[in-house]
Structure 1
Amino acid sequence: MSTGTAVQDAAGRRDAARAMLQRPILTALHDPDSLDLVRRHSTALRAMFADRLGYTLIVETEFARLVKTPLDAAAPLRPLHRATGGAFGAIGYTYLALTAAALLAPGQGDRIPMAVLVEQVRADAAARDIEIADGLAERRHLVAALQALMEWGVVGETDLGDDQDRDTRDGDEVVLTVCRPLLRHLTAFALHDLPGPSAAITARPETPRRRLYRRLVEDPFTARDDLDPEALDVLIRERAEIARLLDEDFGLVLEVRTEGALAYDPDGNLTDLLFPGSGTVNQAALLLISELVDIVEPVPGSTVHVDATTLENTLAGLVATHARNWRGEYVRDVTALCRDVTALLVRLGLAHARDDGLLLTAPAARYRPTISEGPQ
């Protein structure tokens, strides 16, 4: 293999790995080019994901599925979100599980009318003594579940069946197409085999090197205080090698400072969470950081505790200033805004939630707007 071909092959493998990180479920319907790239490099990718991260990569004709291993118990969970931005709750996950089970019910083919799906969901819930909503609430939860499944490529909507379908159903009836092979791989293992809900997110014992590498790949920022002594020792001793692998595998650049480590993407697109970004929660979070840094004046490189009263009062002041441009539900309910802003900052690694407020991490100060003098 020539040098040019080897470089091109390495670049293609890295692009394929980035595609799987960005979208752990790739389908021919949503992104055929990326799926083709993953299939081309599937052997090397399977080995890399398994060895470095403890992940399982499943590659078939219609899809590729990256099954991830949970981070350690201290890492914040990343829930599903509805189209409106709200996180899935227990009811949302219940409907998602019931919908997926109904799509896999014996006798169901690759297409299923919506009415049949709804009846199957209701029947399965009743058989397991699960109380579900009815009316508008039922529709809202079913829509959220189906939107998630559509985004993953598990189901799609079609308005045409075969000739027999057209003769036996109403013309405006919604029919869903189902990718049954992918549906079977949505979860890492059969949920009915678990002893309890917590078992689904319990991290397995692994080497410090793999734990560290997974944190660097998956988290926007990894604080030194969040690393166990063994992982911290690996970061110190093997920093150069880890930096090389991050670049080779995913095109990430490792930056290590006193407060922790960051593996960032120079292209800025290898993320599922853009910040700063648009929307009320993003804007409020950015402005909140600036306000809190001014109030508490933290020592550079340190974390700082912000009590609940200061947090809510600061957000209330921001709401009063920006009420005309922010979503009405947040303007009317500052507590809800505080909850969602806190959740965003925690997901970004810029804060830790506390019962009595918030603990801002050192990287939060990077997002404080600065004023620079322009030419006179």
Structure 2
Amino acid sequence: MNGRSRRRGSSSAEVQSDLQAVAMALLSRPWITKQDHPDEFLLIKDHYGYLRDWFHDHAGYSLLVTRAFAKLEKVPAVYRSWMGIDGFHQPRDYALFTYGLWYLEAKSDTDQFLLTEMVEAIRNHLLGSHFDVDWTLYDHRLSMVRALKKLRALGVLTSIEGEETGWARDGASANVLYEASPLARYLLRRFPKELMAYSEIEALYEVEQTTTVPVGDELLHNADVRSRRQKVFRRLLMEPIVYDWEWTDDERRYVQTKRPWIISQMGEMVGLQGRRFREGLYFHWPELMAEVDLFPTQSAASDVTMLLAAQLREAAAQYPDRYPCDENGCFRLTRSEFEGLLLAVRDKSEAYWTKEHRDKSTTLLAEDILAHMVEWNLAAPDDLGGILLLPGLSRFCGEYAAVID
């Protein structure tokens, strides 16, 4: 695509395809910079009003466009464990990542500084808050290194000379020269109020209403409808599956009554195709997308999950009394029954598995596959210590194709 010259002569179908591509890019990336993606950046600027209004009206997201980048401020309606930062292992990693941004906000563009200067400033600041971070401890240095690597990956910090692993290993005897980026000031989400004005964590991801609503039943009703619509679209845009029972009563009624409109809006804006099943409204991409993680993933855990879905389908048909399905389409299994299904899958397909999964014990394999399924909302632990296989799993079926010599 060649910037503006291509778009001036484009058909409406090509323009819509371009808009879907940049909408997906805005949803999938922290931001889109003019330097790295000039064509996408120009498309966003050309259609700024339309993109801004759609994302704000439908999901309550703010679109920020500067001379250097475009950023869609995305806030989930419900937080999930997989929404964390890949590679972060503990809360300390997130805290040091945030204080790294605090340090960078005081730097001018292209200011250079040493890693040791940065970590000492962070330590002194934290001491003022009665929180002691000890850089002589390897675990503390390792947390800081994970935070620094993420800051570099996001482009808010540039390494000029050296690398963090040497400092993690040797401490103050190693160093890294960095350069600041103006992007650091825009990474954290903007809040309509000061953080100290929020009394509970749930208020941080409430849908922001930028329009003042005067007292009046009709206008208050319109504000409620807008808030409900935005929460629904947030979940449908960010979560792999949302079942009917996961909505509030008002949200479920909205999804059921507005289903054709929701499907058309998701299709026109981001290219998602929707379909109604008994247990909920599902969305999927008709083609493979490089921008997002899709199920099944490239992980071997997805292969085993697909095989398990086929094994469950077979077992439920053969032994309906042993594997009853409830009114929501869920199968409630004990852990031993879940491991039994996995053993049956292993007996049939182990020759095709990775060495990692072949060598794991049944218990460890079950934990690995269950964690993968929970992440994709295909399973959940139940209240009695068992496992709930959710109906989304029944929509998949996998087997290894026979190889003919």
TM-score of the aligned structures, taking structure 1 as reference length: 0.79
SS of the counterpart of 1:207? helix
The code of the aligned residue for 2:33 comes to T
Q: Identify if the C-alpha distance between structure 1 residues 119 and 222 changes in structure 2 by more than 3 Å, giving closer, same or farther.
A: same
Q: Deviations over 1:298-353 (max 9, x none)?
A: 5597111222343456568878958983449x937955x65554343233221233
SS of the counterpart of 2:240? coil
5 Å-filtered alignment, 1:31-42, equals 31-42=37-48
Q: Identify if the C-alpha distance between structure 1 residues 345 and 133 changes in structure 2 by more than 3 Å, giving closer, same or farther.
A: farther
**1:361 to 2:387 alignment:** no
2:117 and 2:109 mapped to 1: Cα distance?
Answer: 10
SS of the counterpart of 1:21? helix
1:280 and 1:374 mapped to 2: Cα distance?
Answer: 19
Could you tell me how far 1:140 is from its partner in structure 2? 1.9
User: Residues 25 and 291 of structure 2 are in contact (CA less than 8 Å); yes or no, is this contact kept in structure 1?
Assistant: no
Could you tell me how far 1:213 is from its partner in structure 2? 2.6
**1:268 to 2:288 alignment:** yes
* Selected match of 2:83 from 79, 84, 91: 79
The code of the aligned residue for 2:84 comes to L
Could you tell me how far 1:50 is from its partner in structure 2? 0.2
- After TM superposition, the structure 1 stretch with the greater mean CA deviation from structure 2, 148-157 or 12-21, is 148-157
How well do the aligned residues superpose, as a CA RMSD in angstroms?
Answer: 3.8
1:334 and 1:111 mapped to 2: Cα distance?
Answer: 50
Cross-structure match for 2:190: 188
Cross-structure match for 2:124: 123
Q: Deviations over 1:126-166 (max 9, x none)?
A: 22222435433123212221222223222222239xxxxxx
Cross-structure match for 2:334: 307
Could you tell me how far 1:32 is from its partner in structure 2? 3.8
1:177 and 1:370 mapped to 2: Cα distance?
Answer: 51
Q: Identify if the C-alpha distance between structure 1 residues 324 and 304 changes in structure 2 by more than 3 Å, giving closer, same or farther.
A: closer
The code of the aligned residue for 1:144 comes to R
Could you tell me how far 1:244 is from its partner in structure 2? 1.7
5 Å-filtered alignment, 1:137-286, equals 137-159=139-161, 173-189=175-191, 191=195, 193-202=197-206, 206-269=226-289, 272-286=292-306
Q: Identify if the C-alpha distance between structure 1 residues 98 and 373 changes in structure 2 by more than 3 Å, giving closer, same or farther.
A: closer
Could you tell me how far 1:364 is from its partner in structure 2? 0.5
5 Å-filtered alignment, 1:98-137, equals 98-105=99-106, 110-132=111-133, 134=135, 135-137=137-139
SS of the counterpart of 1:213? helix
Q: Which has the larger radius of gyration?
A: 2
The code of the aligned residue for 1:232 comes to R
Q: Percent identity of the aligned residues? A: 21
The code of the aligned residue for 1:82 comes to D
| Structure 2: gaps spanning 5 or more residues | 1-6, 163-173, 209-223, 317-322
SS of the counterpart of 1:112? strand
| Structure 1: gaps spanning 5 or more residues | 161-171
* Selected match of 2:378 from 345, 350, 357: 350
2:360 and 2:401 mapped to 1: Cα distance?
Answer: 31
User: Residues 350 and 363 of structure 1 are in contact (CA less than 8 Å); yes or no, is this contact kept in structure 2?
Assistant: yes
Cross-structure match for 1:164: none
2:253 and 2:260 mapped to 1: Cα distance?
Answer: 13
2:143 and 2:324 mapped to 1: Cα distance?
Answer: 44
Could you tell me how far 1:48 is from its partner in structure 2? 0.8
User: Residues 111 and 176 of structure 1 are in contact (CA less than 8 Å); yes or no, is this contact kept in structure 2?
Assistant: yes
Give the count of matched residue pairs.
Answer: 358
Q: Deviations over 1:186-239 (max 9, x none)?
A: 223364554354443456675333332332222222212222333333333332
Could you tell me how far 1:295 is from its partner in structure 2? 4.8
User: Residues 310 and 397 of structure 2 are in contact (CA less than 8 Å); yes or no, is this contact kept in structure 1?
Assistant: yes
User: Residues 60 and 207 of structure 2 are in contact (CA less than 8 Å); yes or no, is this contact kept in structure 1?
Assistant: no
SS of the counterpart of 2:398? coil
Q: Identify if the C-alpha distance between structure 1 residues 314 and 100 changes in structure 2 by more than 3 Å, giving closer, same or farther.
A: farther
1:236 and 1:270 mapped to 2: Cα distance?
Answer: 31
Cross-structure match for 1:165: none
User: Residues 332 and 388 of structure 2 are in contact (CA less than 8 Å); yes or no, is this contact kept in structure 1?
Assistant: yes
